[in-house]
Structure 1
Amino acid sequence: MKRSNLFEFEDFQWFPNIWRKPMTRLLLVVHRMFKTEPVITNLINDVLNQTGQKKIIDLCSGSGGPMELVYNNLKEEHAELEMVMTDLYPNQEAAKAINDKKNGISFRTTSVNALEVPSDLAGVRTMICSFHHMPPKVARGILENAKVSHQPIVVFELSDNSFPKLLAWTAFPINMILCLFITPLARPMTWYQLVFTYLIPLIPIFYAWDGAVSNLRTYTISDLDELLNGLEDETYTWKKEVIKQGNSKFLTLVGMPV
């Protein structure tokens, strides 16, 4: 496999929220910059239309990412749609903020393992910019669980890991500079985001590392072929695709029961 098994700072439970939250906000800015929302919306909408499902089960939700906006888009066509956000280590603060809105989205406050999704969580499973965090054995297990459970799954990644590995590391200095420019676009803005970006520039370092590494950890199309070996049969189909939008390339994988 081309995918590299490296770490990201946000993987670690000990990584302080005073840095984690600003990086999460920066990721939302990046989603807006790359216009991922309509791409994700269209992917899920196609699956909803083909399967007749009325619920989205978002796996590895973190703090929610762009999925609240995606859900609002989908509601225009699917009035009865519900979405449940889940995580192995639920962010209780994010869960409370989402649950308090009572807008059709709920965040399960107990742990949900994407390898063994509970049977009561039936619906279109989504993994948005989180699949690359999974090592191959876990990644295959997640896909296999969706197949065995006869549930559709949509995987979306911000890149397709098509750059040569050495060139991919040029993203580190670029990301550091980018962080300085996009920070004013982050909302809500906090004093600690400004301090640890411009006065004590730790966030740009963490952000630059995680951004460069997340690309190197992303599964390529050929990597997906390896993961899916033996998982495609007459009961379940897979569609893998690199979607090009401007200068961006998004890796996508959609699995559906027949």
Structure 2
Amino acid sequence: MAPLIPRLHLFEIDDQPWFPSFLRSHVQDALTLAWNSNTPLQPESPARIAASILIRQLGNSLSSYTFIDFCAGGGGPIPAIQQAINSHLSSQNKLPVDFILTDLHPNVTAWEKIVNKNPHITYESQSVDATNAPKYLVERQDGKKVMRLFNLSFHHFDDTLARGILKDTVNTSHGFTIFELQDRSFASAVSVLMFGVGAIAMAPFFALKRRSLTIFIFSCIIPMIPFVLVFDGLVSCLRVRTPGEVETLLRGCGADTSSWEIQSGRRKFIWPCGYLNWIICKPIKGS
């Protein structure tokens, strides 16, 4: 069913060049925490759900891919997805797959910590434009196919940029996956507000764990971080595209997409109204 609310490409604070980088890093950390959280209302993290979707949808072809996150931010769900997928492949006596973190504005500091703990994750330290991915990145010397990942990020692109990204994907890669934690519904807006309340409630504990006075000040005294999370989260609800809207952009991107098919779905990740929405698009097998 098409949402009643039309897609609105409003601005998000975290996207703005004037937003302080030290606050942006804390916002990215909070989003990473959201991807990986387990609570009584959230028995399975969105990251683990995303991994299970990739395992189920890609099936026996899973081990043939290298996964490249083109808007990795602070790393988000990639460590958890990598662990779940490679644990699954190991149980099937198959070789592990690799993940690569990239971004237009690389967060190398955060990625270094991830890579040091995860041998099957690497990163590209140079700026990567998803509309013109460098050949050395997508032309794999190991013969693996490239699956592009957009984790809580595809909604950031306006229609012109999105078509450019999809055109480059069709011409240089073997599929793409979009995961979004919002959609254009009232229930999704409620889940964003719940996240904001949780961010404020957990801020003292998170600040103590990180030994960060900045987190405490800008979450508890001047609640800038929770405000940005809620404001940008509500705007993200209005920005997220339906599978049909993504397919319209794909078919109109200027590349030959006749052999590409889209699959999509949604899974609840937090009671009562938080859903992970997913889209996986790749060429039809044998085409």
Q: TM-score under structure 1 normalisation?
A: 0.86
Q: Which residue of 2 aligns with 1:104?
A: 120
2:280 maps to 254
Alpha-carbon distance in structure 1 between the residues aligned to 2:191 and 2:80: 28
State how far apart, in whole Å, the 1-side matches of 2:198 and 2:181 are: 16
The answer as to whether partners of 2:155 and 2:241 remain within 8 angstroms in 1 is yes
Alignment equivalent of 2:33, drawn from 21, 29, 32: 29
State the distance in 2 between where 1:37 and 1:196 align. 27
State the one-letter code of the partner of 2:242.
T
**Do residues 177 (structure 1) and 197 (structure 2) align?**
yes
Looking at structure 2, the residues matched to 137 and 196 of structure 1 have their Cα atoms a distance apart, in angstroms, of: 35
Residue in 1 that maps onto 2:262: 238
| Alignment check: 8 A CA contact 1:240 1:252 kept | yes
C-alpha distance in 2 between matches for 1:203 and 1:233: 41
The answer on whether the counterparts of 1:131 and 1:139 sit within 8 Å (CA) in structure 2 is yes
* C-alpha distance in structure 1 between counterparts of 2:26 and 2:87, whole Å: 31
User: Which residue matches 1:72?
Assistant: 83
Give the conservation status (yes or no) of the 8 Å contact 1:239–1:255. yes
- SS in structure 1 opposite 2:262? strand
Cα distance in 2 for partners of 1:218, 1:134 equals: 10
Identify which range, 67-76 or 238-247, moves more after superposition: 238-247
Change in CA separation of 1:175 and 1:42 when aligned onto 2, cut-off 3 Å:
closer
Bigger mean CA offset, 152-161 vs 44-53: 44-53
Contact 1:47 1:124 in 2 (8 A): no
Inter-partner Cα distance in structure 2 for 1:183 and 1:25: 12
Match of 2:130 in 1: 114
- Deviations along 1:9-38, one digit per CA (max 9) or x if unpaired, are 211233223322222222233222552122
* Contact 2:32 2:74 (8 Å CA) reproduced: no
Worse-superposed segment, 211-220 or 139-148 = 139-148
Sort the Cα spacing of 1:48 and 1:189 in 2 relative to 1 into closer, same or farther, 3 A. farther
- CA displacement at 1:43 relative to structure 2: 2.6
- Does 2:167 match 1:144? yes
Q: Structure 1: 5+ residue runs without aligned partners?
A: none
SS at match of 1:60: coil
Q: Is 2:38 the counterpart of 1:12? A: no
Equivalent residues of 1:29, 1:185 under 8 A apart = no
Name 2:212's counterpart in structure 1: 190
Counterparts in 2 of 1:235 and 1:172: CA distance versus 1, 3 Å: closer
Q: Deviations over 1:36-91 (max 9, x none)?
A: 12221023223263364241111110110111111111111334311111011111
Displacement of 1:173 in angstroms is 6.1
Q: Indicate if the aligned counterparts of 1:6 and 1:213 stay in contact, CA closer than 8 A.
A: yes
Give ranges in structure 2 of 5+ residues lacking alignment: 90-94, 139-145
Cα distance in 2 for residues equivalent to 1:180 and 1:162? 24
SS in 2 for 1:96: helix
> How many residue pairs end up in the alignment?
255
The equivalent residue for 2:235 is 213
Identity %: 26
